[in-house]
Amino acid sequence: MWFSFFIYSVLTALLPGPNNILALNSSMKSGYKNSKTLLFGIYSGFTAVMILAAFFTEFILNSYSFLLDYLKYLGAVYLLYLAWSVMSGKPSELHVEKEESVSKATADFWKGFFLQFVNVKIIIYGITAFSSFIFPQFQELWIILIFALFLSLIGNSATWIWAITGERLHLFLNKHYKIINIVMGILLLYCAVSLFL
């Protein structure tokens, strides 16, 4: 089960999403150094959303414990959807325009921070991880917070990877997208099936 949790956490974090695309785009336009404030906003907001997802999921499970099975099915459906979308995905083209002026650091931080609260990908990422993998095993608050920080570390590391090697990673994925998509899709299918083992 923990192997499935790790695969789910890492693969989902590495899939393209608002954070990864924004980090890639910002690094390509302004360079990594000029993107650090935006990235810090993303990291901070991501961590806040993971903690909120833990408490939201705990509230739902404590108040409506019968929902755990439904959330597990919802998590499995989400994983199947991710597997299908990854396996059927095509390479994308990036159209990056030159940035005329560099945004102020404060604005970049808040842009990255507030993006997290409307980022459906990470909200579902957190709720699925907590309801399907973590809460069935643990209920202690300190352990739940450690998992929230762990999920944040994985998600933020993926965003950092996209920021640092985004352009090269994008070209590599475009060149070998069929093989990579099939492997990632099969691993996500394994995660979905393992929820019921």
More confident residue, 12 or 46: 46
**pLDDT for res 179:** 84
**Res 71 pLDDT > 60:** yes
> Which domain, by its residues, includes 186?
33-90+103-194
In a domain, 82, yes or no: yes
- CA torsion, points 68, 66, 121, 14, in degrees to nearest 10? 10
Closest CA to 10 of 170, 197, 157, 178: 157
Closest CA to 120 of 81, 72, 173: 81
In a domain, 123, yes or no: yes
Average pLDDT over residues 10-31: 81
What's the domain count of the chain? 1
**Res 9 pLDDT > 90:** yes
> What pTM does this model have?
0.73
**Res 115 pLDDT > 90:** no
In a domain, 1, yes or no: no
**pLDDT for res 97:** 44
In a domain, 26, yes or no: no
pLDDT digits (tens, 9 = 90+) for 76-108: 787 788 778 778 876 655 444 444 454 557 788
More confident residue, 6 or 89: 6
In a domain, 9, yes or no: no
Average pLDDT over residues 35-58: 94
In a domain, 18, yes or no: no
In a domain, 4, yes or no: no
| Chain Cα centroid distance, residue 48 | 13
In a domain, 64, yes or no: yes
Question: Which two three-digit tokens encode residue 107?
Answer: 């604005």
The span from the CA of 9 to the CA of 72, in Å, is 15
